Copies of this chain bind each other. A is one copy, B any other.
Amino acid sequence: MTQPLRVALLGCGVVGSEVARQLLGRPEEFAARTGASLELSGIAVRSLDRERPGIPAGLLTTDARALVADADIVVEVMGGIEPARSLILSALESGASVVTANKALLAQHGTELIKAAHDAGVRLEYEAAVAGAIPIVRPLDDSLAGDRVTRILGIVNGTTNFILDKMDAEGSAFDEVLAEAQELGYAEADPTADVDGHDAAAKAAILSSLAFHTPVQLDDVHVEGIRDVSPQSVELAREQGYVIKLLAICERVAADDAAGMEPGVSARVYPALIPRGHALAAVRGAYNAVFVQAEQAGSLMFYGQGAGGAPTSSAILGDIVSVARRRVLGGRGKYSPATGRLRIVPLDEIPTQYHVTLDVADKSGVLSRVTEVFAARGVSIESVRQTVSEQEAAEGRATLVISTHRSVESALAGTVGDLKDLDVVNDIRATLRIEGAA
């Protein structure tokens, strides 16, 4: 273990306080994953008055500058342009690595910040700035770096997707659904940044810069919001097999000599009709998804929660671990991912859910004989379904399909073994498990 790394947190709102609680609550895990203990050195806040559950008051300070000057890793979750920009620049210049979730700042001053990090030889990470918990920044920046991205279609704003999804599902009007979203906390009191597309535009600028290795700023993005989307448009779209989604679109434009078109990139945000069969059409509620097309990779999609304290903190903590590892190892090598020694649990001990198809004798009392076998093993049955085809009837047989509740695999396997010995069971036709049920 090397020296502890001092982590300074700028901001203590929904996201900041979640990041603080995680860092304070799981110190051994972060140490095991980075090779150094991560010490939360302080949290810069605007005012010390407010109560913050789970956050020791001694960590709070209003002197962000002093906190930054003494940190190895600076985590900026205060939002806004200033003083966030100045604090990040001063952190980078003093040799700290920076993790930020500030999409507006990156969309306007990303080039400056990335250059400052590069010049200082430190890392600037911002996975949380686009689509919350969904890993999309690193995949574009690293995984697809050897490919040529041609197009990105993103649902990157949860508020507008929630509204459009409700309008589609219920036929209601924009104003009505917006009011409801505000009540539920899915939309801000001032919803401008979301419904007029500015939030999505900032993300489109960041995604375009990453995907096309060219600086794209907020002003370069064409923006239209969803205020004018009418119930009639939603209805017409549905009738024609479409659904309306607010899309952030980033496109590589090929040269077209015939049309006198030079190559370039296009970044734009507007509500658009997409076919209901498209993978993005299935993105419901406040979820986010980013659909990426690349020359070699083909079509990829990344799906998950795009906002909220916990999901956003997941992305930020991932960035913190990532920059901490680099500081510990100087970027060469990699901290062994297999640091733990959890035991391998044999299948027998795992709770699973069985779906058993039996060929049984078609006579009275069979069902009770069969269900007794389950009961004897303590396995509870969720549903039984008996069918008799014409041929089965002629042969005095029936098909019994039984779904169980969750039970330990060994009990389920034992039950199936017992069923084999039952005289009323002719054959066990299939034993499958059910997964992914709620």
A residues neighboring B (CB under 8 Å): 18, 22, 26, 29-30, 32-33, 110-111, 114-115, 117-118, 120-124, 127, 133-135, 138-139, 141-148, 153, 209-210, 212-216, 220, 222, 228-230, 232-233, 236-237, 240, 242, 244, 247, 249, 251-253, 261-268, 270-275, 278-280, 282, 291, 294-305, 310-311, 313-322, 325-326, 329-347, 349-350, 355, 357, 383, 385, 401, 403, 429-430, 432-438
CB nearest to A208 among chain B residues: B344
Of the listed residues A26, A135, A144, A247, the one surrounded by the most CB atoms of chain B closer than 10 A to its CB is A135
Q: Which 9 A-B pairs have the closest CB atoms?
A: A331-B331, A146-B317, A135-B143, A296-B314, A133-B297, A297-B314, A135-B139, A300-B304, A264-B345
Q: Is B280 a contact partner of A436 (Cβ separation < 8 A)?
A: yes
Asked, given contacts A143-B135, A296-B313, A433-B272, whether A332 binds B321 with beta carbons under 8 Å apart, the answer is no
Q: Is B357 a contact partner of A236 (Cβ separation < 8 A)?
A: yes
Provide the bound-state CA to CA distance between A435 and B326, in Å.
41
CB neighbours of A297 from chain B (8 A):
133, 304-305, 310-311, 314-315
CB neighbours of A121 from chain B (8 A):
329, 332-333
A253 CB to closest chain B CB, in angstroms? 5
Per a CB cutoff under 8 Å, which of B117, B145, B303, B333 touches A303? B303
Asked, given contacts A114-B338, A297-B314, whether A233 binds B432 with beta carbons under 8 Å apart, the answer is yes
Per a CB cutoff under 8 Å, which of B18, B268, B271, B314 touches A432? B271
CB nearest to A292 among chain B residues: B304
Per a CB cutoff under 8 Å, which of B232, B317, B339, B429 touches A357? B232
Q: Is B273 a contact partner of A318 (Cβ separation < 8 A)?
A: no
CB neighbours of A216 from chain B (8 A):
344
Q: Is B265 a contact partner of A345 (Cβ separation < 8 A)?
A: yes
CB nearest to A128 among chain B residues: B143
Q: Is B332 a contact partner of A145 (Cβ separation < 8 A)?
A: no
Q: Is A304 a contact partner of B301 (Cβ separation < 8 A)?
A: yes
